[in-house]
Amino acid sequence: RWTEEVELLMEEMGRVIRFLHWDAQRWDEHRSRLTGENPVHIEGLHAYAARQAHIRCRLAAHFDALWAPYLMPTL
Protein backbone atom coordinates (compact mmCIF):
# COMPACT_ATOMS: atom_id res chain seq x y z
CA ARG A 1 0.00 0.00 0.00
CA TRP A 2 2.76 2.47 0.82
CA THR A 3 4.37 1.85 -2.57
CA GLU A 4 1.17 3.08 -4.23
CA GLU A 5 1.31 6.23 -2.13
CA VAL A 6 4.93 6.82 -3.16
CA GLU A 7 4.03 6.36 -6.83
CA LEU A 8 1.12 8.79 -6.50
CA LEU A 9 3.35 11.34 -4.78
CA MET A 10 5.98 11.10 -7.51
CA GLU A 11 3.33 11.52 -10.19
CA GLU A 12 1.96 14.58 -8.41
CA MET A 13 5.46 16.06 -8.19
CA GLY A 14 5.80 15.72 -11.95
CA ARG A 15 2.39 17.31 -12.44
CA VAL A 16 3.40 20.31 -10.34
CA ILE A 17 6.46 20.88 -12.53
CA ARG A 18 4.44 20.49 -15.75
CA PHE A 19 1.77 22.86 -14.43
CA LEU A 20 4.34 25.52 -13.57
CA HIS A 21 5.80 25.33 -17.09
CA TRP A 22 2.31 25.54 -18.57
CA ASP A 23 1.41 28.51 -16.37
CA ALA A 24 4.63 30.33 -17.30
CA GLN A 25 3.78 29.87 -20.98
CA ARG A 26 0.25 31.13 -20.31
CA TRP A 27 1.66 34.33 -18.75
CA ASP A 28 3.99 34.80 -21.74
CA GLU A 29 1.07 34.41 -24.14
CA HIS A 30 -1.04 36.78 -22.06
CA ARG A 31 1.75 39.37 -22.17
CA SER A 32 1.89 39.22 -25.96
CA ARG A 33 -1.85 39.94 -26.20
CA LEU A 34 -1.89 42.99 -23.92
CA THR A 35 -2.85 46.20 -25.69
CA GLY A 36 -4.08 49.60 -24.69
CA GLU A 37 -3.85 53.33 -25.18
CA ASN A 38 -1.55 54.21 -22.29
CA PRO A 39 2.00 53.03 -23.09
CA VAL A 40 3.13 53.36 -19.48
CA HIS A 41 0.23 51.23 -18.31
CA ILE A 42 0.91 48.59 -20.97
CA GLU A 43 4.61 48.58 -20.08
CA GLY A 44 3.68 47.89 -16.46
CA LEU A 45 1.34 45.07 -17.47
CA HIS A 46 4.03 43.54 -19.68
CA ALA A 47 6.55 43.73 -16.84
CA TYR A 48 4.08 42.12 -14.43
CA ALA A 49 3.29 39.27 -16.83
CA ALA A 50 7.00 38.72 -17.54
CA ARG A 51 7.72 38.57 -13.81
CA GLN A 52 4.93 36.06 -13.23
CA ALA A 53 6.26 33.85 -16.03
CA HIS A 54 9.79 34.11 -14.65
CA ILE A 55 8.66 33.20 -11.12
CA ARG A 56 6.93 30.08 -12.40
CA CYS A 57 9.94 29.04 -14.49
CA ARG A 58 12.22 29.47 -11.49
CA LEU A 59 9.86 27.47 -9.26
CA ALA A 60 9.69 24.68 -11.83
CA ALA A 61 13.49 24.59 -12.12
CA HIS A 62 13.89 24.61 -8.35
CA PHE A 63 11.41 21.78 -7.81
CA ASP A 64 12.89 19.83 -10.70
CA ALA A 65 16.34 20.07 -9.11
CA LEU A 66 15.00 19.04 -5.71
CA TRP A 67 12.81 16.22 -6.94
CA ALA A 68 14.84 14.85 -9.88
CA PRO A 69 16.28 11.94 -7.85
CA TYR A 70 12.76 10.82 -6.91
CA LEU A 71 10.83 11.28 -10.14
CA MET A 72 10.19 8.28 -12.33
CA PRO A 73 11.29 8.63 -15.93
CA THR A 74 8.33 8.79 -18.29
CA LEU A 75 8.36 6.33 -21.16
pLDDT in tens, 7-65: 999 999 999 999 999 999 999 999 989 888 899 999 999 999 999 999 999 999 999 99
d(Cα 17, Cα 58) in Å, to the nearest integer? 10
Query: How many residues are recorded in the chain?
Result: 75
Give, in degrees to the nearest 5, the angle at Cα 55 between 10 and 34. 125
Integer angstrom CA distances of residue 69 from 4, 14, 31, 56, 57:
18, 12, 34, 21, 19
d(Cα 6, Cα 32) in Å, to the nearest integer? 40
The pTM score is 0.84
Considering only residues 75 and 14, tell me which one the structure prediction assigns the higher pLDDT: 14
